[in-house]
Amino acid sequence: MSATGNEAVWHTLRVTADPTIRIALWFSVALNLLGTVLFASIAVGHPLMVMPITPPPFFAAQLALTIALFGGVYAWLALQPSIDGPLLVVSAIGKLGFFVLFVIYRATGDLPWSSVIQASPDLILGVVYLWWLRSRSTQAHVPGRRP
């Protein structure tokens, strides 16, 4: 695809009022807020029974910060008049990568099955992000359609 073709695809992704992706982004904000609170609680010395493994406070603080930053990105994206495609790709990788880590550590016996189930909203959201991106890029290539 030429540089001009890529620009047309990203332009089409940016000019949208589709509520599906915005709902998914706001759901991600809520999910990340929950994750931030859980890990921040551990970081300040309040271990939680819902966690399959309790990380040391320093690592819990790092996780809380990372989860909060991603949550901020989701909120920022949801508030924009147009969705930034490359940033949504990074968001999808983050969501899917988080879920894959749970599956890998379940496979090694380090986590219970319940933790994989608890991480399934991230799988669903990552798939929704990719589906939305794919459906928008397909629309950008419809013959006779002007971006």
Asked whether the predicted pLDDT for residue 12 surpasses 70, the reply is: no
* Cα–Cα distance measured from residue 146 to residue 105, given in angstroms and rounded to the nearest whole number: 47
Who contacts 91 (Cβ-Cβ below 8 Å, separation ≥6)? 28, 70, 73, 74, 77, 126, 129
Q: Give the pLDDT band (50/70/90) at residue 51.
A: confident
Nearest to 36 by CA among 11, 77, 70: 70
Q: Would you say 96 and 126 are in contact if contact means Cβ atoms under 8 Å apart?
A: yes
Asked whether the predicted pLDDT for residue 40 surpasses 60, the reply is: yes
Within a 10 A sphere around the Cβ of 6, how many other Cβ atoms? 12
- List the domain boundaries for the chain: 9-140
pLDDT in tens, 65-87: 999 999 999 999 999 998 999 99
- Computed over every residue of the chain, the mean pLDDT equals 86
The token pair that represents 88 in the structure block: 């949504």
Within a 10 A sphere around the Cβ of 141, how many other Cβ atoms? 13
Q: What is the DSSP letter of 135?
A: H
* Cα–Cα distance measured from residue 64 to residue 134, given in angstroms and rounded to the nearest whole number: 30
Q: Give the pLDDT band (50/70/90) at residue 49.
A: confident
Q: Which of 53-62, 115-124, 132-141 has the least mean pLDDT? A: 132-141
Burial string for 55-93 (b: 16+ CB within 10 Å, else e) reads eeeeebbebbeebbebbebbbebbeeeebbbeebeebbe
